[in-house]
Amino acid sequence: MIPLDEILQSENITSFYKEYSAPEINRAEILRYSGIPASSLKAGNQKEAEMLEKMSEKCKSCGNKCDMSFLSSATVDCFSKAQNPLAFEMMEEMLSLTLPKISYKVMYSYFDFEKIKDTPMYSYLSESNDFQKNMTSCKSAVLFAATIGSGIDMLIRRFDRISPAKAVFLQAIGAERVEALCDAFNSEIKSSAESMGKKTHPRFSPGYGDLSIRIQPYILSMLNAEKRIGITLSESLLMAPSKSVTAFIGLE
């Protein structure tokens, strides 16, 4: 467990490094990221089909990302055998190529909002109504940067030229893997916070709502993310490796 209690007692804003083993793969999520509609994932089991319909309708109304982690292996098997076995085989082929090239690295820091009031980063945070709403009742936060490395980017560039369809699956695998990494870190922070009687708010990234991505250089600088885990920014403020995420987790 991340020693959040020790971090909270520190007077200085210090960044920390953590490396994870591979989180469990959610193949249904990869299929969704690759553009396979939920209706194509329905199994013959009527109960599961009804669950998918309800979840899909909920997503439409609230705008949040569907969590399809409840899908059973039978559901995915049904998709592979009855709907589009070629797509499923392609996904498995790309997984076998990708997984050995992925690492799971996180840099993170804790800070009190009062301590950063005179920084450019705080100016961006205070100007974002959506960020302020998310952080209601939070006096502090955990800031992190997560990446699965550049290996998958090289594969995507290669297959963009020789097989765009396979490149789509590589993009989907990368999206699922970095989200799984963020979820693993988020879960650990939540457990540490709860052990201290604190509550975490949903993680919030630059680009969400009205939080400008112009804050990214200050985030990466605070975390020393370029030196420690190799995350850099282009002139248009896109991160490299591309499958990288920065986010704040509010602590109430």
| Domain architecture of the chain: domains with CATH | 4-25+102-251 (3.40.109.40)
Residue labelled with tokens 């302020």 = 132
CB 20 within 8 A of CB 181: yes
Region 142-146: mean pLDDT is 97
Nearest to 152, CA basis, from 176, 125, 174 = 174
Contacts of residue 170, Cβ cutoff 8 Å, sequence gap at least 6: 94, 98, 152, 155, 156, 159
Q: With cut-offs at 50, 70 and 90, classify the pLDDT of residue 251.
A: very high
Distance of CA 125 to the CA centre of its chain: 20
How far apart are alpha carbons 214 and 128 in whole angstroms? 12
Locate 73 and state its tokens: 């292996």
Give the per-residue pLDDT at 13: 77
CB 143 within 8 A of CB 16: no
Q: With cut-offs at 50, 70 and 90, classify the pLDDT of residue 72.
A: very low
Q: With cut-offs at 50, 70 and 90, classify the pLDDT of residue 217.
A: very high
Give the per-residue pLDDT at 40: 56
Give the per-residue pLDDT at 89: 83
> Cis omega (within 30 of 0) on the bond before 120?
no
**Higher-confidence position of 9 and 106:** 106
Residues 9-60: tens digit of each pLDDT: 666 678 899 999 999 998 888 888 887 765 555 444 455 445 545 555 555 4
Locate the DSSP E strands across the chain. Answer: 15-20, 104-112, 140-147, 232-233, 239-240, 244-251
Residues 107-137: tens digit of each pLDDT: 999 989 998 999 999 999 999 999 999 999 9
Nearest to 184, CA basis, from 205, 198, 160, 203 = 203
Give the per-residue pLDDT at 134: 97
